[in-house]
């Protein structure tokens, strides 16, 4: 049996729309083995498709077809701690798992770059699949169908507070509220900050992240779909977070925190409990204490 572990990811990192992403130490695990007929099931009770519409299977199927191999019947067992439709890369984790599992079943004919190309083609953009495969902080672009990525390991001095609500938000809905065009000044605003965020992670100058993760392209539109989101932003900033941004398409709000800031998570939990008692929309959130995953997806 082949086992694949894929980390959660947090895309955009503020201004880096569809270009920046980072990997976190929350892992989906998928087991693959050849079988007499297709069998797909969940080991943790998560509701998943069990037919050919399952995303892990679809990605595996495309990988076999990409390699011009017949698609064999498989037994696929999924464990899914990455919450679905929460902006933490659950779809990308499925895609990457399917590609790595199929590649391993074939004797590993594909290189890491070829698998990244295939994953980005399936997903449509590389911001989640690149850090899911490579780990760390990754800047990526697609140019004429080719993916170009640069990875930088994230310092162990950083931690991540994922404020995850008890409601989902589909990417299609979140993208649907975005404007078709943006003013020139907003494009410049984001380009400069995406470049600064990349430099901040590469140089370890994390004080820059407060400015570098500001955005004028998508977050203000998406916050309207996240009840209590603005309050989470304000609270995390007041508690001293280095940066706060919408993770991927949302609804999770991500805060970057220094490891030395020992009071942040306790204070955030207390604030969330108070909001829940008040029946405030922000009381629907729970904070998850995460670290960077610098090694990316692995096959065991």
25 has pLDDT over 90: yes
Domains in the chain: ranges and CATH: 2-153+295-299 (3.30.230.10), 158-290 (3.30.70.890)
Alpha-helical (H) ranges within 36-106 are 55-66, 90-105
Residue that the structure tokens 């498989």 belong to: 74
Strands 20-34, 39-42: pairing kind = unpaired
With residues binned 3-state (H G I as helix, E B as strand, rest as coil), the percentages for the chain, rounded to 5, are 40, 25, 35
- Assigned token pair, 170: 């589909």
pLDDT digit string, tens, across residues 244-270: 999 999 999 999 999 999 899 999 999
> Facing residues of 162 across strands?
254, 288
Distance from C-alpha of 143 to C-alpha of 191, rounded to nearest angstrom: 17
pLDDT digit string, tens, across residues 192-214: 999 999 999 999 999 999 999 99
pLDDT digit string, tens, across residues 93-149: 999 999 999 999 999 999 999 999 999 999 999 999 999 999 999 999 999 889 999
């Amino acid at each position: 049996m082949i086992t694949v572990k894929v980390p959660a990811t947090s895309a955009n990192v503020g201004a880096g729309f569809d270009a920046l992403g980072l990997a976190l130490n929350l892992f989906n695990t998928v087991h693959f083995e050849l079988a007499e007929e297709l069998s797909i099931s969940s080991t943790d009770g998560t509701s998943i498709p069990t037919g050919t519409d399952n995303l892990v299977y679809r990605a595996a199927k495309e990988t076999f077809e990409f390699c011009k191999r017949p698609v064999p019947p498989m037994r696929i067992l999924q464990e899914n701690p990455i919450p679905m439709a929460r902006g933490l890369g659950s779809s990308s984790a499925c895609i990457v798992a399917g590609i790595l599992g199929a590649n391993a079943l074939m004797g590993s004919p594909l290189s890491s770059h070829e698998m990244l190309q295939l994953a980005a083609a399936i997903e449509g953009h590389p911001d989640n699949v690149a850090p899911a495969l490579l780990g760390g902080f990754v800047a990526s672009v697609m140019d004429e169908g080719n993916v170009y990525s640069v990875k930088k390991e994230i310092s162990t001095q950083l931690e991540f507070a994922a404020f995850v609500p008890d409601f989902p938000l589909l990417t299609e809905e979140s993208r649907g509220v975005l404007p078709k065009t943006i003013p020139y000044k907003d494009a410049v605003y984001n380009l400069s900050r995406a470049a600064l965020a990349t430099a901040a992670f590469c140089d370890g100058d994390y004080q820059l992240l407060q400015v570098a993760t500001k955005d004028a392209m998508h977050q203000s539109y998406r916050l309207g779909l996240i009840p209590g989101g603005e309050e989470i932003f304000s609270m995390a900033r007041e508690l001293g977070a280095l940066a706060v941004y919408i993770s991927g398409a949302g609804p999770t709000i991500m805060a970057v925190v220094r490891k030395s800031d020992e009071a942040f998570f306790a204070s955030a939990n207390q604030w969330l409990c108070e909001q829940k008692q008040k029946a405030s929309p922000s009381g629907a959130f729970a904070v998850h204490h995460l670290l960077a995953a610098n090694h990316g997806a692995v096959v065991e």
